[in-house]
Chains A and B, each alone.
Chain A
Amino acid sequence: MAFSAGIVLLGIGLVAIAIRRDLVIKLLALGLANAGSILCLVAIGDRPEARVPICAVCRDAVYADPLPQALVLSAIVINFAILALALVFVMRLVEHYHSTDSRRIEGLVQRDLREGGRS
Chain B
Amino acid sequence: MSRGSRLFHLLVIVSTGCVVLLVLLAFHSETPETAPYGTYVDRSVEETGATNRVAGVYLNYRLYDSLLEVLVFFVAVLGVRHYLGTRERAEIPTLAESEVVRTSAALLFPLALLLGVYLATLGQISPGGGFGAGAVAASGVLLASIALGIDAIERRLRRTTIERIERGALLVFLLLTLLPLPLGRPAMSDLLPKGSPGAVLSGGAIPLYNTLIALKVLAGSWLILRSFVRHRGEI
Contacts and interface: CB of A to CB of B under 8 A. Distances in A.
User: Do A and B touch (CB < 8 Å)?
Assistant: yes
28 contacts: A11-B17, A14-B16, A15-B12, A18-B12, A44-B35, A53-B52, A53-B53, A54-B51, A54-B126, A55-B51, A59-B42, A63-B53, A65-B37, A65-B38, A66-B56, A67-B37, A70-B57, A70-B58, A71-B62, A74-B58, A74-B66, A78-B72, A81-B73, A82-B76, A84-B80, A84-B224, A85-B76, A91-B231
B69 A74 contact: yes
Contacts of B16: 11, 14-15
B75 to A, nearest CB: 7
A54 B127 contact: yes
Tell me whether chain B's interface is mostly helix, strand or loop, or mixed: helix
Interface in B1-35: 8-9, 12-13, 16-17, 19-20, 23-24, 27-28, 35
A81 B20 contact: no
A93 to B, nearest CB: 11
A58 B13 CA distance: 46
Interface of A: 3-4, 7-8, 10-11, 14-15, 18-19, 44, 47, 52-59, 63, 65-67, 69-71, 73-74, 76-78, 80-82, 84-85, 88-89, 91-92, 95
Given A15-B16, A81-B75, A66 B40 contact: yes
Given A74-B66, A85-B76, A89-B83, A66 B44 contact: yes
B20 A11 contact: yes
A113 to B, nearest CB: 21
Interface residues of B, number: 53
A91 B86 CA distance: 13
Tell me whether chain A's interface is mostly helix, strand or loop, or mixed: helix
B217 interface: yes
B24 A7 contact: yes
B95 interface: no
Given A4-B24, A54-B52, A65-B37, A73 B129 contact: yes
Contacts of A66: 40, 44, 53-54, 56-57
Nearest to B129: A73
A15 B66 CA distance: 32
